[in-house]
Amino acid sequence: MPIRSGLRPVQRALLATGATAALGVGVLTGTAPAGAAGAAAGSAPCDLYAAGGTPCVAAHSTTRALYTSYNGPLYQVRRASDNATRDIGVLSPGGVANASAQDSFCAGTTCLITVVYDQSGRNNRLTQAPPGGFSGPAAGGYDKLADATAAPITVGGHKAYGVYVAPGTGYRNNTTNGVAKGDQPEGMYAVLDGTHYNGGCCFDYGNAETNSRDNGNGTMEAIYFGNNKVWGYGSGNGPWIMADLENGLFSGVNQRYNANDPSVSHRYLTAVVKGGPNRWAIRGGNAQSGGLSTFYNGTRPNVAGYNPMRKEGAIILGIGGDNSHGAAGTFYEGVMTSGYPSDTTENAVQADIAAAGYGR
């Protein structure tokens, strides 16, 4: 969108959260260069994480750029009529997806999302998940790919598409660059459809095993969203934001029930998990407005095998670490960081998400 006089909505939101230090001086003084359609100049999530000293090592989105300077592809689609592929980019540097490019390419046929590119420059892209502890329903035991048109939305007045995960759908990268391993600190967030979920295992985004198998307690650290109560749960009937740490979905320090993790069902939901040596946290909020709430912040679970952690550094979307693929959900954007982000940095990121205009 063109710059107007005075502070734009994202700047006002960031100032309200006390996150002014995360913004460049040029943005605060109104001297930043003009952004194009859908851009939020000087304040995209990965710019904010970098300013906070916890840079993105993976940045995935089918809806918008997560750096103000990003002008590459967001995702790739493949059409059924001739198996041709096309990369879908942004309308302008730092802007929203060019959904019309997908619409014209897929006209008269169907398309699948084959790649979700990594905007961080580390090539931690997500592709069709291979078989692991569980085999998927597609050829060769792979998981299915998402229908490219199943999750249409608007972002800042522009059409975009999310990644619609039906049971059997999954994406993965088992050979990553820079993702936390062992007990190294990391953070992650995802913007999800808070009304699309089930009780299957497991709608995850985050750190997982590199061999697609269950390698024991503490070998994962991923955001989970859904109403599965087999391992852990929070208050109400769900859905909940929890952490999949392998062999357990944790809503807090206890193995099963933690009352402070509430049921959340915002149409557009920001889900946050972060973890470091004997500490971790769950946060969440409405991706359309307001700030983040902290649902847990404390020591690792009081169950053997999670302190220290044994993270392996793969990245998953829509599945469990062992390729469990019974879950449902919709993903719009998410990142993983190097280092344990501060609440201040995450609050600034949430303000940018809210200003991006999901559903508007």
Say if residues 318 and 150 touch (Cβ distance below 8 Å): no
Say if residues 112 and 170 touch (Cβ distance below 8 Å): no
Nearest-5° Cα angle at 283, 319 to 188: 50
DSSP string, 257-270: B-TTS-----SEEE
Catalytic amino acids?
246, 322
Distance CA 164, CA 348 (A): 27
Distance CA 62, CA 74 (A): 5
DSSP 60: E
What beta strand segments (E) does the chain contain?
A: 56-61, 75-79, 85-88, 111-116, 126-128, 146-147, 152-155, 158-161, 163-165, 171-173, 186-193, 204-208, 221-226, 240-244, 249-250, 268-276, 279-286, 293-298, 314-317, 329-337
- φ and ψ at residue 293, rounded to 5 degrees: -105, 150
For residue 97, the cross-strand partners are 90
For residue 144, the cross-strand partners are 169
Distance CA 253, CA 269 (A): 23
Contacts of 62 (CB under 8 A, 6+ apart): 74, 75, 88, 97, 113, 116, 160, 161, 162, 163, 331, 332, 333
Distance CA 121, CA 176 (A): 12
Distance CA 213, CA 181 (A): 16
Distance CA 95, CA 38 (A): 5
Distance CA 342, CA 325 (A): 32
